């Protein structure tokens, strides 16, 4: 059994949890043990949700750590990004439907750069770069936004954002009253 299958699931924070609006701090060597323990838990939580990306602030940890797997049901390709940063982006935009584990059942068309290059560190501390377009580009940008206290709804018009957030609040209230 893999670490991911035996890991404890973490609680995903739901909007309007204030931790989702905070900026995460850089991971330092002093965080190594915490990050090593957190990575399998974050993957297990993401896969169970199910989702394709999860940032540490979404589980209440204000560290610049992201896990991504854009095709877990086909060929799993788990990706860990520590201290990721977008270093280049295309001038061309792409529109994709996005959702978020911190805004369950809410989806909207989001416009972002069509292509990005991201610098990050892997689990062993090696400096790496990844380039992506399509779903990978959107996922990278979405998860890095979480590290800066930004949600996908922040890329929408005020009207669309408010409609979506009101709908989420209503659904969460109904869910709570059914318990």
Q: 131 catalytic, yes or no?
A: no
Choose, from 92, 129, 131, 143, the residue flagged as catalytic.
143
Task: Give the span between the Cα atoms of 73 and 83, in whole angstroms.
Answer: 27
- What residues act catalytically? 143
């Amino acid at each position: 059994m893999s670490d991911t299958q035996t890991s404890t699931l973490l609680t995903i924070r739901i909007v309007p949890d204030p931790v989702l609006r905070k900026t995460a701090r850089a991971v330092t060597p002093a965080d190594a043990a915490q990050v090593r323990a957190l990575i399998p838990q974050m993957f297990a939580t993401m896969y169970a949700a199910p989702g394709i990306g999860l940032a540490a602030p979404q589980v209440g940890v204000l560290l610049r750590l992201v896990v991504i797997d854009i095709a877990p049901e086909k060929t799993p390709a788990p990706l860990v990004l520590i201290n990721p940063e977008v270093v280049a982006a295309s001038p061309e935009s792409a529109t994709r439907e996005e959702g978020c584990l911190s805004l369950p059942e809410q989806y909207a068309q989001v416009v972002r750069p069509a292509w990005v290059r991201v610098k990050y560190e892997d689990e062993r501390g090696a400096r790496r770069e990844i380039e992506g377009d399509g779903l990978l580009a959107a996922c990278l940008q979405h998860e890095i936004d979480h590290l800066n206290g930004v949600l996908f709804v922040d890329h929408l018009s005020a009207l669309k954002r408010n409609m979506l957030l009101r709908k989420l609040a209503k659904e969460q209230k109904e869910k709570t009253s059914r318990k």
